[in-house]
A and B are shown apart, each in its own frame.
Chain A
Amino acid sequence: DIQMTQSPSSLSASVGDRVTIPCRASQSISDYLNWYQQKPGKAPKLLIYAVSSLQSGVPSRFSGSGSGTDFTLTISSLQPEDFATYYCQQSYSLPRTFGQGTKVEIK
């Protein structure tokens, strides 16, 4: 199985900050990397797929980068509605696997 690692598990930031969230795969997954946002009590929502493609309706302040094993989700200017937990997920192979999540909290 491909293990997905997200660290830190949480971070504190202020509105307007630039935030970067890393994700590492245990082996190369090419560009088969997706990001999801989850708010408390809600189902996860697809943000970015194929490393850097924004899902329809997602604000342009979100971006993704990386290749192979190391990936990053960037929020260019954090907004109040962005405080949530973010998960990376690989679709390179089965079983599909998720990272442990990074919770973005208000500083």
Chain B
Amino acid sequence: QITLKESGPTLVKPTQTLTLTCTFSGFSLSTNGVGVGWIRQPPGKALEWLALVFWNDDKHYSPSLKSRLTITKDTSKNQVVLTMTNVDPVDTATYYCTHETTVTPRRFDSWGQGTLVTVSS
């Protein structure tokens, strides 16, 4: 059974750097084809895909946020970390960690519970 859990600060100030950690179990990020991604959802709004890291350390980012995002994996710790620099109140959202299947067509078949991050001074 795959589980994912997000952790990080609930409140960050504008211009600061946000660091979120996804700790997962039930799969290994060293398995061929596996991906772990981040998706966010501002209050009352739609889902927005942010970033994805694959088993081979291939990384992909949302074009609109690419300059501010960094995704890294620690296979030994079963963790994926997302860093977002220079946060703004518009970055207030629930951030979800997801598992993307190894088989195609790929899909996000497991999600963390989400963590609400508020950006405010």
Question: B-contacting residues of A (Cβ < 8 Å)?
Answer: 1, 30-34, 36, 38, 43-46, 49-50, 55, 87, 89, 91-92, 94-101
Interface size on B, residues (CB 8 A): 23
The verdict on B49 contacting chain A, using a C-beta distance below 8 Å, is yes
Looking at the complex, which one of B48, B63, B108, B113 makes contact with A46 (CB distance below 8 Å)? B108
Once A43-B112, A43-B113, A94-B52 are accepted as A-B contacts, the answer to whether A101 and B107 lie under 8 Å apart by CB is no
Please state if A34 and B46 are interface contacts (CB–CB under 8 Å): no
Point out which of B106, B108, B112 has the most chain A C-beta atoms below 10 A from its C-beta. Answer: B108
Once A31-B105, A49-B105 are accepted as A-B contacts, the answer to whether A95 and B63 lie under 8 Å apart by CB is yes
* A13–chain B nearest beta-carbon distance, Å: 21
Once A43-B114, A96-B52, A98-B49 are accepted as A-B contacts, the answer to whether A91 and B105 lie under 8 Å apart by CB is yes
What's the count of A-B pairs with C-beta under 8 Å? 64
Point out which of B49, B96, B100 has the most chain A C-beta atoms below 10 A from its C-beta. Answer: B49
* A74–chain B nearest beta-carbon distance, Å: 19
Please state if B107 and A98 are interface contacts (CB–CB under 8 Å): no
Please state if A32 and B113 are interface contacts (CB–CB under 8 Å): no
Chain B residues within an 8 Å CB radius of A99: 46
Chain A residues within an 8 Å CB radius of B46: 87, 98-101
Once A43-B113, A94-B52, A95-B62 are accepted as A-B contacts, the answer to whether A87 and B47 lie under 8 Å apart by CB is yes
The verdict on B61 contacting chain A, using a C-beta distance below 8 Å, is yes
Q: How far is the CA of A68 from the CA of B46 in the complex (A)?
A: 23
